Amino acid sequence: MSDMVHECGVFGAYNVAHAATTCFYGLYALQHRGQEGAGIVTCDTSQFFVVKDSGLVSDIFNKESLTYLKGTNGIGHVRYSTTGGNNKANIQPMYSKTSKGKIAIAHNGNITNAYVLYNQLKEAGALFQSTIDSEVLLHLFATSKKRSPLEAMQDTLSHLEGAFSIVAMGDGYLMAARDPNGFRPLALAKLGKGYVIASETCAFDLLNADYVRDIEPGELIMITDDGVESHRFAEPLKRVSQCIFEHVYFARPDSDIFGLNVHQARKEMGRQLALQSPVDADMVIGIPDSGNSAALGYAEASGLPLEMGIIRNHYVGRTFIQPRQRIRSLGVKVKLNPVKSVIQGKRLVVIDDSLVRGTTSKERVSALRRAGAKEIHLRISSPPVIGPCFYGIDTPSKDQLIAANYSIAAICEYIGADTLAFLSVKNLLRAVQDDPHNRFCTACFDGKYPVKVTHKGKKIFESRKERIQLYGTSNRY
Ligand code: AMP
């Protein structure tokens, strides 16, 4: 029943014609970061308007609800979580009235000391409405002894550990902050006379907003009618640890994150993989869509032709991202179909971005065999995932990570491939130009966790009995 904020997307708009529409398009572009629920809070002459619900952005918002969301400032959130999916109280943004005025907050990441803070706050009398670590933020802000919203937010953020990219809105301001390690991306752009903030730059492209810069690790920016002010809530670290898995899998290829385009980074991973683990084969095929960029790089570097060996049904969501296993395995079959006439009798290099549980790869390999592939050489454009992520990516626990429990030879046999190879950590870092090696977190691949995890990452806990369940499909306030 524990609930954690995982792969999420955040968005903010300040001084734009109609904030709700801008947030809607921003969230639409960030939909891949979370498909379980979404919300927008806008502010119009100190009044807050809220629409949030479970489901996809396009299902939740319509003309009526967008019209209801008045104002030129707003923030939004798309959410994904492993459990407690139907608990609508967990859908963000969170908002409240405090002694520093109204505030709404949207958070992406995972606060590793949330459990400790939650218990401290509860002991002190805080009334929690949800089980997400983001609510801790609201309480810290509300109870901060600092008087101004800026100082109260600086104070709040200084208590947090782990991963957090945040947008917050109050009456007449928008704030955005990134944790000192810079785990999750967050960027600022100019839109007309105003500003927008987004987890990924693909949201700016959709809005024709002009990218200004990334929010720095440990930085808190404050946007008001006077412009953008930069503040800090933590000293700069010598070594930041931005999530390499954003580049491997999570972010959209058309986004630039951590100073690098995601597609180019993945293509380079494929190129490195071809140099590191070559194969005598007839063609390269990528697993759509996550393996496509790396497959292109592998083909280029190896000189083998790139083919469309698997076609994706675009009307199915990300398979893995469905929290329940039953839906996930059905999704794998519905989603991808091998092209028989392309692969029949051929020796294939099959490229995918990552191998986590190994279950989807196994199904894909057997589908390619059924379609007549002569040889299947699986090449993964990232290293074996050997440890869970405590900083906001949904990786299963160690017992479910196939590479944490089996040798590469055993995995290859389980999956049914002829050969299997992974990109090394060193070559992965080379692909993202991490030289000297000091910009990325590679904990899921090498077990080096840059921020200590209190209580083994224990989450805020709520049993079914304790839960307060909201009625209805709509969750407007
Ligand atoms: P499997 O090895 O069966 O667990 O599946 C790995 C596949 O899931 C890869 O092709 C990735 O594209 C995708 N994947 C990896 N990590 C994640 C994640 N955290 N959330 C959603 N999908 C993921």
Residues 6+ apart with CB under 8 A from 281: 304, 347, 348, 349, 375, 377
- Candidates 5, 335, 356, 394: which one to mutate for ligand 1, based on the most atoms within 8 Å of Cβ? 356
The mean pLDDT of the chain is 90
Domain boundaries, the chain: 9-240, 261-441
* pLDDT of 410 strictly over 70: yes
Report the nearest atom of ligand 1 relative to the CA of 357.
4
- Candidates 35, 244, 322, 360: which one to mutate for ligand 1, based on the most atoms within 8 Å of Cβ? 360
- Candidates 335, 354, 357, 365: which one to mutate for ligand 1, based on the most atoms within 8 Å of Cβ? 354
Cα of 355 to ligand 1 centre, how many Å?
6
Q: Which tens digit of pLDDT belongs to each residue from 334-343?
A: 778 999 999 9
Q: Which tens digit of pLDDT belongs to each residue from 25-56?
A: 999 999 999 988 999 999 999 999 999 999 99
- For residue 358 and ligand 1, the question of a CB distance below 6 A is answered with yes
The Cα–Cα gap between 226 and 475 comes to 34
Q: Which tens digit of pLDDT belongs to each residue from 103-154?
A: 999 999 999 998 899 999 999 999 888 878 888 999 999 999 999 999 999 9
- Rounded to an integer, the average pLDDT of 245-263 is 97
- For residue 414 and ligand 1, the question of a CB distance below 6 A is answered with no
| Whole-number pLDDT of residue 332 | 62
Cα of 320 to ligand 1 centre, how many Å?
6
* pLDDT of 467 strictly over 90: no
The Cα–Cα gap between 406 and 412 comes to 10
* pLDDT of 328 strictly over 80: no
- Rounded to an integer, the average pLDDT of 307-325 is 71
Nearest-CA residue for atom 14 of ligand 1:
320
SS3 letters across 436-452: CCCCEECHHHHCCCCCC
Buried b (16+ CB within 10 A) or exposed e, 444-469: bbeeebebebbeebebbebeeeeeee
| Stretch among 64-68, 147-151, 286-290, 332-336 having the lowest mean pLDDT | 332-336
| Whole-number pLDDT of residue 370 | 94
CB 382 within 8 A of CB 376: no
Ordered strands of the 9-14 beta sheet: 47-54, 37-44, 73-79, 9-14, 194-198, 187-191, 210-214
Cα of 194 to ligand 1 centre, how many Å?
37
CB 405 within 8 A of CB 445: no
Q: Is 329 left (phi over 0), alpha (psi -120 to 50) or beta?
A: alpha
Closest CA to 40 of 6, 4, 3, 79: 79
pLDDT classification of 329: cutoffs 50, 70, 90: low
Same fold, 9-240 and 261-441: no
- For residue 395 and ligand 1, the question of a CB distance below 6 A is answered with yes
Closest CA to 194 of 219, 165, 226, 220: 226
Residues 6+ apart with CB under 8 A from 335: 312, 313, 316, 319
The Cα–Cα gap between 271 and 340 comes to 27
Torsion angle in degrees (nearest 10) through CA of 446, 449, 454, 457? -50
Q: Which tens digit of pLDDT belongs to each residue from 360-381?
A: 899 999 999 999 999 999 999 9
pLDDT classification of 395: cutoffs 50, 70, 90: confident
| Whole-number pLDDT of residue 319 | 46
- For residue 328 and ligand 1, the question of a CB distance below 6 A is answered with no
- For residue 92 and ligand 1, the question of a CB distance below 6 A is answered with no
Closest CA to 174 of 66, 93, 236, 80: 93
Residue 388's Cα: distance from chain center in Å?
Answer: 15
Cα of 356 to ligand 1 centre, how many Å?
6
The Cα–Cα gap between 414 and 105 comes to 44
The residue type at 292? N
| Whole-number pLDDT of residue 195 | 98
Buried b (16+ CB within 10 A) or exposed e, 191-202: beebbbbbbbbb
Report the nearest atom of ligand 1 relative to the CA of 290.
12
The Cα–Cα gap between 259 and 36 comes to 29
> Residue 457 carries which DSSP code?
G
Count the neighbouring beta carbons within 10 Å of the beta carbon of residue 275: 12
Phi, then psi, of 168 in degrees rounded to 5: -140, 145
| Stretch among 279-283, 321-325, 443-447 having the lowest mean pLDDT | 321-325
Nearest-CA residue for atom 13 of ligand 1:
320
- Both tokens of 419, joined, read 């050969």
- For residue 251 and ligand 1, the question of a CB distance below 6 A is answered with no
Closest CA to 82 of 459, 442, 463, 467: 459
144 or 397: which carries more pLDDT confidence? 144
Query: How far is the CA of 12 from the CAs of 1, 149, 183, 263, in angstroms?
Result: 30, 17, 19, 25
CB 430 within 8 A of CB 437: no
* pLDDT of 468 strictly over 90: no
- Which residues are identified as catalytic? 8
- Candidates 249, 322, 324, 444: which one to mutate for ligand 1, based on the most atoms within 8 Å of Cβ? 249
**Residues above pLDDT 90, as percent of the chain:** 80
- For residue 475 and ligand 1, the question of a CB distance below 6 A is answered with no
The residue type at 255? S
- For residue 362 and ligand 1, the question of a CB distance below 6 A is answered with no
Task: Tell whether domain 261-441 is in CATH 3.90.1150.200.
Answer: no
pLDDT classification of 281: cutoffs 50, 70, 90: very high
| Whole-number pLDDT of residue 89 | 82
| Whole-number pLDDT of residue 474 | 37
| Stretch among 217-226, 236-245, 258-267, 388-397 having the lowest mean pLDDT | 388-397
> Residue 283 carries which DSSP code?
E
3-state class percentages of the chain: helix first, strand second, coil last, to nearest 5? 30, 25, 40
- Rounded to an integer, the average pLDDT of 272-283 is 98
Cα of 387 to ligand 1 centre, how many Å?
14
> Residue 108 carries which DSSP code?
E
Q: Which CATH number fits domain 9-240: 3.40.50.450, 3.40.50.1820, 3.40.50.620, 3.60.20.10?
A: 3.60.20.10
* pLDDT of 327 strictly over 70: no
| Stretch among 1-5, 163-167, 247-251 having the lowest mean pLDDT | 1-5
| Whole-number pLDDT of residue 462 | 56
The Cα–Cα gap between 221 and 177 comes to 6
**Residues above pLDDT 70, as percent of the chain:** 88
The residue type at 384? P
The Cα–Cα gap between 287 and 379 comes to 11
- Both tokens of 397, joined, read 């626990």
| Whole-number pLDDT of residue 465 | 61
Q: Which tens digit of pLDDT belongs to each residue from 415-430?
A: 999 999 999 999 999 9
Count the neighbouring beta carbons within 10 Å of the beta carbon of residue 379: 28
Q: CA 433, 203, 153 angle in degrees (round to 5)?
A: 85
The dihedral through the CA atoms of 335, 274, 346, 372 has a sign that is negative
| Whole-number pLDDT of residue 326 | 53
Q: Which tens digit of pLDDT belongs to each residue from 219-237?
A: 999 999 999 999 999 999 9
| Whole-number pLDDT of residue 229 | 98
